Structure 1
Amino acid sequence: MIKRRKAVRKSMVLSLAGLFLVSAALTGCNSGAENSPASDKPSGSADSNAGTSQSGGAIDHSKPLTITVFDNAANYQGEQTGWYGKLVKDKFNITLNILAPQVAGEQLYKTRTAAGDLGDLLIVDNSQLEELIPAGLVMDLSDKLKDTKYLSQYVDKHFKPFNSGFDQVNPDGKIYGLPTFEADTSPTTFSEEIPYSSPIMPWDYYKGVGAPKLNNLNDLLNVLKQMHEKYPKTPDGKPIVPITLWKDWDGGSMENVRWLSNWYGFEQPDGTSTIQLNAKGDIVPLVDDNSMYKKILQFYFNANQMGLIDPDAMTQDWNKVSEKLTNKQVLLLWYSWERGFYNSIERGKNGDGNVAIPIADSHIIQSSDAYYGNGRVFAIGSKAKNPERIMEFMDWLVSPEGLRYYTNGFEGFNYQKTADGKFELTEAGQTAFQNNTPVPDQYGGGGYQDGQSKINSMIMSDFTIDPETKEFYNSNYWNTTLEANKTALTTDWQSTFNAKNATDYYQKNNMIDIVPNINTSLGTDSSDVKNKRSQISDYVKNTSWKMVFAKNQAEFDQLWTKMQKDVDGLGWKDVVAVDTVKAQKIVKMRADALANK
C-alpha cells in the first residue's frame, strides 16, 4: 500500500468489512464513477462537463499525453495499466508513467532535481517541496486553482493555511503544493474505528489458545508462541509466522520499530530521524537507554530468541509480506490497513478475521484526522508542458467521480445504489482486492488489484463527505457496511471487550492519546546536517537489524552501546538539536490547535 509513513506515510485505513483502502504503503484503492462506468470519450467531448482551461476555453484532448509522475508514495514503477489506466486514458487521453523512489531508490530524487526536471506531476514530501520552491522546480498554482470546479472549494480552508507554513521560501503565500489525504472533518477529530498502529491478531487463533489477557509485551510473545504451536500452517499448507519484518520501508530508522513505539505513546515525527515524541511534548533521543525505540528493539530480539520472527525477514520486501497477509500467514499485524488483505464480511460471518487485541500496559499515541494533510503534497513540475491538463486531472481526483473510483472502484461491480440512494458493496466488491477479482472487459479487464491506481495517494481523503449519499467516501463507514459487518467476528469482539470498536475501547479505558494532526514545513536540513543525518540513519538502521538478530543478550547490549558511541562521532548531537527544534514546533502547534478547537 501506501507504504508507511511517508504518506503516513501511508495513512490509509482498512475497512470494517476488511476492504483495503488507501493509506503508506499498499497500492491505492480507487473509487467509483458518478453513476456510470468510465466514458469511452475523453472528458473534453461534447457530452462531458469537464475540460475547461484556465483561460476559459475548452481543453484539447485530441493529442495523447503521457504525464511523468514522480511519486514518493508509489510502490510500483512504470506505466499505469489495467482498469485505472483505461479509465484515465478514456477520460483524459492521458497515460501515467510513474517514477517511484521506493522502487528505484532515493537517488532518483537527487538525480532528477540536479537535472532540473523532477517530473510533470509530483507527489513529494513536505521537506522536498521546501527545497523545490526556491530551486524553481515547481509551479505556482494560485491562479490555476481559481478556475477549478472542485479544488477551488478547498483553497481557503486547506491549501492556503498549509502553504503559509513555508513562509521562509514562500513569503508571498503562493500555493505550490496540495497536501495529501486531507480530511474534511476537523483538526482534532479522529474518525477511524481502529488506531493506525496497534496490536492486531487473528480472532479465531487467539480464541483457540484461550484468549488470554495481555498485560504486557511478554504476554504478547507468549500468546504468539502458543498460537504458532497450535497453528503452524494454513489449511492449504503454507507456513505461518508469528511476526514478520521487512526492510524496504525503512527511512531514518527501522520502520517496524518506529511504528510499534506508538503502542507505548511515542512517535517519530516525519522529517526527523533521531528523536521520539509523546503527547505531553517529551522529546527522547532514539539511542537513549530509556527510549521506546530500545524497548521495541528488545521486544523483537526476544521474539527472535523464541523463534517467532519470520526467517525471510532480512531478505523479503513489502510485496512478499503482502502475499503472506493475504494468505493469513502472519499472526501479529500492527497497521490498521493490513487487515484488508484478508478480512471480509463473508469470513467475518464465520468469526474469521484480524482484530485488535489490546495490551493492558500500552498507551497509544494517535494523530487526529489529517485535516491539513499528512506529510506529502501534489505539485506540478515547473517544466510540465501541459499544466492545464494536469490541473484538470487533479481537479477530477477530488471530484465525487474521481474519489469514488479511487476509494471504491466501479458502481455496478464493486458497489451499487440502494433504494434510499445510499451505496452498498457488492459481493464481488467485498473481496475484489484480496482475490484480485477479474474486472469485466468493459472496464479494462485484468485483475482488480493489479489495475488499481499506482499513484497510491489522494489529495482529499476518503474521510470527506460524498454530496450524493451524505456519507464518507470510505466504504467502511457506509451504513450498509456497518450493518453488514455485524458478523460473528465483530459481535463476538464487541461482547468480549465491551466496546463498539477498537478506538472506542482504547478511549473508554484511557489507553490512547489523540493528538492534533500537524502538517507543516519543519524546515530543511543544511547540507552538513543532511550528510550527517544520512550517515546516522544508515548506521542506526543497520545496527537495529543486527540487534534484532543478535545471537544473545550480551551481543544485543554490546551493539546498542557501540551504536550510542559511534553515532556521536557521526554528528549525532547536531542532528538531535535540529530534530528537537522540529519537535518543539509540533508541540506548540498541537497546543495551539487544542486551544482553538
Structure 2
Amino acid sequence: MNRNNKLARKSSMLLGTTLLLVTTALSGCSGNSNNASTATGSPDPGTATESSSPGTGIDHSKPLTITVFDNAANYQGEQTGWYGKLIKDKFNITLNILSPQVAGDQLYKTRSASGDLGDLLIIDNSQLEELIPAGMIMDITDKIKNTEYLSKYVDNHFKPFNAAFQHINPDGKIYALPTFTSDTSPTTFSEELPYSSPLMPWDYYKGIGAPKLNNLTDLLNALKQMQEKYPKTPDGKPIVPITLWKDWDNGSMENVRWLSNWYGYEQPDGTSTIQLNAKGDIVPLVDDNSMYKKILKFYFDANQMGLVDQDSPSQDWNKVAEKLTNKQVLLLWYSWQRGFYNTIERGNKGDGNVAIPIADTHIIQNSDAYFGNGRVFAVGSKAKDPDRIIEFMDWLCSPEGLRYYTNGFEGFNYEKTADGKFKLTPVGQTAFQDNTPVPEEYGGGGYQDGQSKINTMIMSDFVVDPDTKEFYNNTYWSSTIEANKTVLTTEWQKTYNATTPTEYYQKNNMIDIVPNINTSLGSDSSDIKNKRSQISDYVKNTSWKMIFAKDQAEFDKLWTKLKDDVVGLGWNDVLAVDTERAQKIVKMRADAVANK
C-alpha cells in the first residue's frame, strides 16, 4: 500500500468488527480490504483448457505468466495457494510478483532503466507521470471500451483521473485505472471508524475505571495505569503501551504522521515538508507550532514514562503484527489494526480493541476514494498478450472477482442466506487469523498464505454487489452487523451513546471529512528529488532520536538543530514545491464540495 490506508464510509456497522480489516492489516497498508470471494463456489477446472473464452475470441490454450510489478505487494514470487489455483484454472495464468517492498526501491530504478517494468503494473501516481512520457505504459482506451465491467466505470472514474495528467496526456487517453475506487460519491464517508483514531483494549480500559480522556496527557496516564495493572498477557508475553516501527517511514516518520490526523492535520502524499488542515492552512513540519512537533513530544513524554516499546527502533512491521495478534499493544491508531485480534467470540466476552475518544481531538478524514487512492493499475508497453491481461483486470472488477478478493469462496468463507444475501461461515470468521487449511479442491494450503498477493484492487470493497445490494466488504453485510451485536459493541454503544465511532465523532463535532483527492501533484525535478531525499532522511532520523532523547533538554536541542540544518539541505526549495501541491489539493477539494 501506499502504506497509508485512507478511507472512510457512512454505515451503521457496529464496533468490534474483525475479519475484513485483517487483510489490510497484514499489508499495513493500502489496502482497505480483506482478500478473496465468489458466489459461485470453486472455479471451473475446465476453463483453462478451453481454447478461448466464449464470445471473447481470446485464446487460453497456452499458459501465460504475467510479471506483476506491484508497489502494494508484501510478497515476491509466484502466486500460489488457492488464489493461484483459481486464476490458473480460470485463465491459464500464473502471476509472478515483483515487490519493491520486499526487494527494495532499487527494483523500480533498475527495471524502469531497462525500459520494461513488467506486464501488469501497480504503481504510484508519481511513477505513472514518469512512465507515460517514457513510453512504458500502454494506451488501453480502446481495449477497455468493450469490456463487461471496466467499461462501466470509464466516464465517472477512469476518464476524470487520466484527464488530470493533461500535461503529459493532452488527448485524454486512458493509461491507468486508479486503485480502491468506490462508487459512492466524491464527498461520502462510509466507514464506521476513521482511518486513524485512538483505539485501546476495552476490557483493560474498563479495568482502570474507564477514565474520561480530555487530552494526550490523560491518555498517557491511562496507558500507565493499564501497563501497571496488565503487564503481561495470560500466556506471559510482555504488554507494551505503545509500539513503533521504522520500515514504513517515507517523507517523514509515519507513526507521527498519522497521529497528527487526530488533531486535524494531514501530510498529503507527495509532500514531505508540510501538513494541511481542513480549512486549507498549510504548516511546515519544522514549525514550532506544528502538529508534527506536538506528536513527537507526545511520544517523547510516553517514552519518559516507560510507555514506548524499546524494540521500536529495531523492529519491523512483521514483529508489530505479531504483537497485535497476541494483544501485546495497548494503543492502536489504524482502523484495520483491530482485525489482528478482534473476533466475534472475543467480542461476546467484552474483549477487543475499540475506539476510545479523546475530548480535545478533531480528526481529519478523507472521504471515500471515488476517484481512487494514490496508485494505479497499468499495462506495460511491452506486455505479453495484453488482451489476456485486460481480461484478467476486467474479471477483478466483476462480482465474482470482487467476491473472491474480499471474502474468499462460497461454501467455505461465506454462504447465501434465505433472503439472497451473504453470511460469513464460522470458518470464514477466523480463516485469515487462523490461516485455516483450505480444502484440496480449492488449492490446499493455508487460507491466509493463499490469498491474492496483488494486495490491492481496482474497484474497492465499497462497491455494491448487484446481487445482494450490499457492499462487498463483509463488515457491512447486514448479517455481520447482526452478528457483531456482542457484549463489546453494546457496551461501547451504551457508554458513548452512538452506534459507531464515526457517528460519535460527527455528533460531537470532532471530525472534518474532506474530499479524497486523487491526482498527480507533479513529479520532482532531479534537484528537488535529491534535496527531498536528504531532508526526509534527516527529518526521520532526528524524529526517532527526539522520541528517545534522554531528557527535555536533549529533545529541544535536537529540534533546534533540525530546524537549522534542513535549511542548508534545501528546505525552502522543497517547501515551495510542497506548498504549491497543497494549494492544488485545497482548490480541488473546494471544487468537489461545490460540484457534489
TM-score (norm 2): 0.96
Q: CA deviation at 1:4?
A: 2.0
Q: Provide, for residues 40-71 of structure 1, a one-character-per-residue CA deviation record: whole Å limited to 9, x for no partner.
A: 1235738xxx937xxx7521212221111111
- Asked if 1:396 corresponds to 2:395, the answer is yes
Distance of 1:503 and 1:573 partners within structure 2: 38
Matches within 5 A, 1:413-492: 413-492=412-491
Gaps of 5+ in 2: none
Q: Is the 8 A contact 2:64 2:94 kept in 1?
A: yes
Between the aligned partners of 2:258 and 2:267, the Cα distance in structure 1 is: 8
Map 1:504-583 → 2, pairs under 5 A = 504-583=503-582
Aligned to 2:20: 20
> Partner letter of residue 36 of structure 1?
G
Distance 1:88 1:10, change over 3 A: farther
The equivalent of 1:73 in structure 2 is 72
Q: CA deviation at 1:287?
A: 0.6
Query: Given the alignment, which residue of 42, 46, 69 partners 1:41?
Result: 46
Q: 1:20 offset after TM fit, Å?
A: 3.1
Letter in 2 for 1:222: N
- 1:104-123 matches, within 5 Å, as 104-123=103-122
State the secondary structure of the residue aligned to 1:445.
coil
User: What CA distance in whole angstroms lies between the structure 2 residues aligned with 1:223 and 1:51?
Assistant: 61
Contact 2:8 2:366 in 1 (8 A): no
- Note closer, same or farther for the CA distance 1:484–1:433 as it changes in structure 2 (3 Å cut): same
1:16–1:481 contact (8 Å) kept in structure 2: no
Q: Structure 1 residues 160 and 190 mapped into 2: Cα distance closer, same or farther (>3 Å)?
A: same
RMSD of aligned Cα (Å): 1.8
* CA contact 1:4–1:10 (8 Å) conserved in 2: no
Tell me if structure 2 keeps the 8 A contact 1:243–1:308.
yes
Query: Is 1:374–2:373 an aligned residue pair?
Result: yes
One-letter amino acid of the structure 2 residue matched with residue 364 of structure 1: I
Name the CA distance, whole Å, in 2 between partners of 1:280 and 1:454. Answer: 38
Percent identity over paired residues: 77
Paired letter, 1:17:
T
State the 1:174 CA deviation: 0.4
- Aligned counterparts of 1:16 and 1:398: Cα–Cα separation in 2: 29
2:138 alignment partner in structure 1: 139
- What secondary structure, in the 3-state scheme, does the structure 2 residue paired with 1:366 have? strand
SS at match of 1:134: coil
Summarize the alignment of residues 149-548 of structure 1 with structure 2, pairs less than 5 Å apart.
149-548=148-547
Change in 2 beyond 3 A, CA 1:345/1:9? closer
Deviations 1:105-132 (A, max 9, x none): 1121111111111111111111110111
Counterpart check, 1:32 vs 2:37: yes
> In the aligned structure 2, how far is the partner of 1:442 from the partner of 1:547?
54
Stretch of structure 1 that moved more, 275-284 or 75-84 = 75-84
The count of aligned residue pairs is 588
Distance 2:322 2:559 in 1: 33
Contact 1:16 1:482 in 2 (8 A): no
Check whether the contact 1:9–1:375 (CA below 8 A) recurs between aligned residues. Answer: no
Deviation, 1:9, is 9.7
Q: Which amino acid aligns with 1:488?
A: V
What CA deviation, in whole Å up to 9, does each residue of 1:400-440 have, x standing for no partner?
00100111111111110001101001111111111111111
- Residue type matched to 2:385 in 1? N
Pairwise CA distance, 1:237: 1.3
Q: Secondary structure of the residue that 1:166 maps to in structure 2?
A: coil
Calculate the TM-score normalised by the size of structure 1. Answer: 0.96
Asked whether the 8 Å contact 1:349–1:489 carries over to 2, the reply is: yes
Letter in 2 for 1:329: Q
Q: Is the 8 A contact 1:529 1:575 kept in 2?
A: yes
- Offset, 1:133: 0.5
* Amino acid in structure 1 at the alignment position of 2:577: V
Judge conservation of contact 2:191–2:502 (CA < 8 Å) in 1.
Answer: yes
The amino acid of 2:82's aligned partner reads: W
**Which is worse superposed, 529-538 or 501-510?**
529-538
Distance in 2 between residues matched to 1:115 and 1:17, nearest whole Å: 45
2:365 counterpart SS class: strand
Give CA-to-partner distance per residue, 1:290-333, whole Å, 9 cap, x none: 10000001111111111111121111111111111111111111
Amino acid at match of 1:45: E
Structure 1 307/296 Cα, relative in aligned 2: closer, same or farther at 3 Å? Answer: same
Q: CA deviation at 1:348?
A: 0.7
Secondary structure at 1:200 match in 2: strand
Range with bigger deviation, 14-23 or 583-592 = 14-23
State the alpha-carbon separation in 2 of the partners of residues 574 and 59 from structure 1: 52
Letter in 1 for 2:46: K
TM superposition outliers: structure 1 runs of 4+ over 4 Å: 7-11, 13-16
